[in-house]
Amino acid sequence: MQTRLIEKSETGIETYLLENGNGMKAQVITYGARIQKLFVNDRYGNPIDVVAGFDDAEEYRNDRGTYFGATVGRVANRIGGAEFSLNGESYKLFNNDGKNHLHGGKEGFDKKLWTVEDCGEASIMLSYLSRDKEEGYPGNLKVGVTYKLSEDNALEIYYEAESDGDTLCSLTNHTYFNLDGRFKSALEHDIYINADAVTVVDSELIPDGQIMRVQNTPFDFTTVKPLGKDIAADDVLLKNARGGYDINYVLNNDGKEPVATAYSRNSGILMSVYTDKPCMQLYSGNFLDGFKGKTVYPYQSAFCMEAQGYPNACNIPEFESIVLKAGEKYSSFTTYAFSCK
């Protein structure tokens, strides 16, 4: 079906409805280019909203750092010390996470009003122009994100960007999932991640350049297990992340098989994640604390699987670069495919 505008708020936030031929629906808002709602049928054919957020688009302006459903940039995840060097120049970024920079800064892409460029069959493209020195980053960066619902019930996300000067660019989507749709706890979801290693972080969750094998650690999801099976283990990385997962996985990505899956035994919904990015952040909702949205979201009531570049790569030469050269085109994709069993 043709994507259509269904609401416009007093401050200009637009809400669009995407729907495929199978009844799968998504609502996208222009504030932060966010996924507001995503309805997927359970094993009995009942539509379930599987993403956290707010019913009222205006409420996203006061989301207290949850990043519900948001497009995140210019750089996803954390940059240590809120600074980096590029072409011999030092750049100081806004430190919105203690002394560090998180998810694009004080007013990252998640807090910008995006422009709708095109609406198609179950698809929408939005754009934003990030001006030179916004949040401290160099270069005028034009960004585009496209959401599409496929006829085989996948949410496809396509990113593109281009800058007139050398800069950093590493985009992601920060949707919180609970495939039960009840958002009481996410810990019973069965999780698989095709990754043999994670990037080690310090007490402030900043990667320090070390790569750790996951075998015989609580971070091993190479065999399917419940999200909560090892979450209470006596492990410093779990404790530093408020008693849960908030860690970057180095993916074994052949481009054909899913890099991760999540399954709810209650609803029968299986979500499979595909991407061309080298990494994925697993986040178990450790900063949710009874936050009121569409419902009340308790601690660890939802999880994120955020495909991304290497975090803090601008300060760790051994990590794959996230530098975008002037005139070069940035492009990437992430797909969340849904089925039932």
- The answer to whether the CB of 18 falls within 8 A of the CB of 146 is no
- Helix or strand run (H / E) with residue 81: none
Residues 6+ apart with CB under 8 A from 72: 103, 104, 108, 109, 110, 171, 172, 173, 174, 306
Cis peptide before 74 (omega within 30 of 0): yes
Residue 335 and residue 152 in contact, taking contact as beta carbons nearer than 8 Å: no
DSSP assignment string, 4-25: EEEEE-TT--EEEEEE-TTS-E
Q: Are 145 and 158 in contact (CB under 8 A)?
A: yes
The yes-or-no answer on residue 174 being catalytic is yes
CA distance 325 to 169: 10
**Active-site entry in 83, 174, 204, 320:** 174
Q: What does 204-247 look like in DSSP terms, one character per residue?
A: TS-EEEEEEE-TTSTT--SS-EETTSSTTSS-HHHHHTTSS-EE
Judge whether 204 counts as a catalytic residue: no
Q: How far is CA 119 from CA 55, 116, 272, in A?
A: 22, 8, 26
Among 146, 141, 117, residue whose Cα is nearest residue 129: 141
Q: Which residues pair with 260 in a beta bridge?
A: 193, 273
Q: Is 335 helix (H, G, I), strand (E, B) or coil?
A: strand
Rounded to whole angstroms, the Cα distance separating 334 from 304 reads 13
Map residue 102 onto helix, strand or coil.
strand
Of 134, 306, 318, 328, the active-site residue reads 306
Nearest to 143 by CA among 4, 329, 321: 329
Catalytic residue numbers? Answer: 174, 306
